[in-house]
Amino acid sequence: MQINRNNIDDLTATLTVTVEPSDYENRVDKILKDYRKQSQIPGFRKGKAPMAMIRKQYATPILAEEMNKIISEHLGQYIQQEKLEILGNPIPQTNTESSGDWEKPSSFTFAYEIGLAPTIDLTFGRSAKFPRHIIKVDKKAIEASVTDHKRRHGAISEPEMANDTDLLMGTFTELGLDNATLENGITHDSNIALEHLDDRRTKKNLVGAKVGDTFVVDPHKVSHNHDDLGKLLGITHDQAHDIKSMFSFEVKEVKRLAPHENDQALWDKVLGKDVVSSEKDFREKVSEELRMQFDRDAEFVFRRRFAVDLIDHMKIQMPDAFLKRWIQMSNEKPLSDEQLEKEYPNYAESMRWQLLQQAVMKDTDMRVSTEELEEEAKRVIGAQYAQYGMPLEGEMLDNFAKNALANEEERRRIADLIIERKVVDNLKTRVNIKEKQVSYEDFAKLAAAVR
């Protein structure tokens, strides 16, 4: 067998495969002989049919199947021997016809196209400058945090009549014509936070509500978006898009939060007994707490944004036309041209990031140790359970981590987390990073864009 490579450009090439009879004859003959041994053809004893009859009936499909196997094996060997870094798999070249006679087989020629991985240059130079946005801890941020602590440790009461900052708990019921209850309509227990209502008329109507009162409300005016509306009515985001009905809201409870006084009792609840003894010291501790929290948030946003911005900066070229054809051919479900054009940019971006990670790993001989896997598994699982107020530690956490790592898919996912973190840590040392202070509001917009 002979394989010749012709480079179309820096990122695509053609492999021309010539298959000679010596490459396939023995394999096909062996299979035909096995077929003959098992054959049960009328007029002949089992395994005694003439080979000419077996060959006439089965030779062509067997040859086609074996040809695919032979080509696949040799293409793989060739790519490995030539140390070609390819993307996807070889695909038949669309503008070149194969040659060979399947009825009278002799030499066959096939042409395949391959996509080559681009060279990744990890020398970025001075032009690679990236901002790390940090939040300024100002008086406004400190005051907002103090207010949050006061509310979290405040007292809940149940007033007879609601004011404009109270919480109404009750039942939403979908209405039909003439505001009558809609048969088989939506009914869901939920609540309305008057403090956060944007629609003034609705808010004015609900202020003064008492237990037992019923109001007709537009659900869109007591929610902020379709996600919020879905949670309010106990339906999906997609179903929320179709809601056009009015709803009745029956008040079952009125809740009022009285914020805690900014006193020693609050400081002890937030920081621990007698850690501070003055409001000035409390605010200083709150400031320190905010700096640590903001730094964690800043690092999270930076790392997510950094990967995207660095790839944009590098302008890594991809064999786009080849990859689109390969995606079309390898996808289980047919993709329309519109779907492909819509989805391809995200696919290409993900592949660029994978190539960059592989380049860093190769350059640094990066490895993931068993100890690192175990520690990361414990960190991930511990964080998951902590979200639900169920802290895990000690032997129980160790066992949960071992069980997770016994699953190959989960083990790979955890390894990917470690690798991504190590790669970003390494890349940070190769570029110029400059801290830039922003307001909390502007930072929130940056964070929302990368989550």
For residue 134, tell me if it sits in a domain: no
301 and 432, same domain (yes or no)? yes
* β-pair type (167-174, 2-7): unpaired
Tens digits of residue pLDDT in 127-156: 889 999 988 888 888 998 999 999 889 999
319 and 389, same domain (yes or no)? yes
β strands within 8-120, DSSP E: 12-19, 86-92, 108-116
Angstrom distance (rounded) from CA 54 to CA 246: 76
220 and 283, same domain (yes or no)? no
410 and 302, same domain (yes or no)? yes
For residue 142, tell me if it sits in a domain: no
Average pLDDT of the residues in 223-244: 91
> Of 116, 147, 179, which residue is a domain's last?
116
325 and 184, same domain (yes or no)? no
Averaged pLDDT score across all residues of the chain: 90
Helix axes 264-271, 279-314, angle to 10 degrees: 40
Whether residue 336 has pLDDT greater than 90: no
Tens digits of residue pLDDT in 362-393: 999 999 999 999 999 999 998 888 776 677 78
Tokens of 78: 């060739």
For residue 124, tell me if it sits in a domain: no
The residue range of the domain holding 169 is 155-258
For residue 140, tell me if it sits in a domain: no
299 and 403, same domain (yes or no)? yes
β strands within 57-124, DSSP E: 86-92, 108-116
Which CATH number does the domain housing residue 418 bear? 1.10.3120
247 and 304, same domain (yes or no)? no
Tokens of 428: 């940070």
Place of tokens 């941020």: 141
Which CATH number does the domain housing residue 180 bear? 3.10.50.30
| CA nearest to 149, candidates 45, 229, 266, 252 | 266
β strands within 129-272, DSSP E: 129-135, 155-157, 167-174, 187-193, 214-217, 247-258
Angstrom distance (rounded) from CA 5 to CA 329: 22
CB-count exposure of residue 216 (10 Å: 0-12, 13-18, 19+): exposed
- The band of 451, judged by pLDDT with boundaries at 50, 70 and 90, is low
Whether residue 42 has pLDDT greater than 90: no
For residue 32, tell me if it sits in a domain: yes
Number of domains observed in the structure of the chain: 3
Whether residue 283 has pLDDT greater than 90: yes
Tens digits of residue pLDDT in 388-439: 667 778 888 999 999 999 999 999 999 999 999 999 999 999 999 999 988 8
290 and 431, same domain (yes or no)? yes
89 and 188, same domain (yes or no)? no
For residue 263, tell me if it sits in a domain: no
Place of tokens 């009125």: 254
For residue 377, tell me if it sits in a domain: yes
Rg of the Cα atoms in the chain: 34
Angstrom distance (rounded) from CA 351 to CA 118: 11
For residue 321, tell me if it sits in a domain: yes
SS3 of the chain: helix, strand, coil, percent, to 5 = 55, 20, 30
350 and 254, same domain (yes or no)? no
Sign of CA dihedral 338, 340, 341, 345: positive
9 and 102, same domain (yes or no)? yes
H helices present in 187-225, as ranges: 200-206
Cα end-to-end distance, the chain, whole Å:
52
